[in-house]
Structure 1
Amino acid sequence: MAAEALEAFIGIGANLGDARANALDAIARLRRVPGIGVTAVSSLYRTAPVDSSGDDYINAVARINTTLAPHALLEALFAIEREHGRERPYRNAPRTLDLDLLLYGADIIDTPTLTVPHPRMTQRAFVLAPLLEIAPDVAVPGLGAAASFAPDVAGQRIERLD
């Protein structure tokens, strides 16, 4: 019997190399992962680094349906990051590609390797703006409507790209 598909949201970010191309390629690679169906992708956004350094980031959010278990989905995201040469020399280092599992259905997950909802998603305009673009009514499990956090990040610089 096939596993039932769950809706999940993936945060996409890059600020090294051709960040726009890296973000778009990540979306294309997500579409090719068995067990993942991409159902919506936000616009691309340019944002200043938060708790980081380097060039501006290109960010987006993808909505997917997946039959993968949460840790298997995380491993698939890590594999795409590695294909882009992602290195993790220190926390919040500039990156060629960063894929974050933001939401996994209505699940709350807290393991040594995975925390869902993503612990800082409600504090980041670069997550909330693209997320709310494609899912304006989405709720953050345990916290409530994602839109209710938008005023808290209104001061963060973010630019929607064409």
Structure 2
Amino acid sequence: MSTSKNWATAALVSCALLLSGCAALESMASDFAPSGEEVTPVVPSPVAKAPISTGEYDLVESCRVFFTGPIVDNVRQLRDAVQAPLTEERTGAFSSVSRNIGDIISKADEVSIAHLEAVRAPFDQALDGSIARPKAVDTAVKNYETACKEGGFKG
């Protein structure tokens, strides 16, 4: 019988400790509860998906860098390759085009960013293993060229 009394005593002590622990938690929780006013949840700000530009170049300068340098020539030479399966050589060429356009984007104006992203997209698509369309490259370059001329670029 003494064993069952020991078990009963242990159970009683355990229950008492458990209840006192619960009471302490409830007391602590009330310290963090709102005081009658509505609490609005904190919503994390969305991650910026658009490229961030320093705005160092205005539209004309962005156009000049793209259209008077070797970048546009590389884009035009590689336009047909975006529809072909990826090879080691194409991977290097597409990466170079994407990186060079990204360098301009980092300094470009807002109008140029949208157009340059459209030019870069088929190359990035090809790098991801998807087959891109050469017509997408042509259209993006043509649209950017039109925006540049409308913006005052004489090149």
Confirm or deny a common fold (TM above 0.5). no
Q: Rg bigger for which structure?
A: 2
Normalised TM-score (structure 2):
0.31
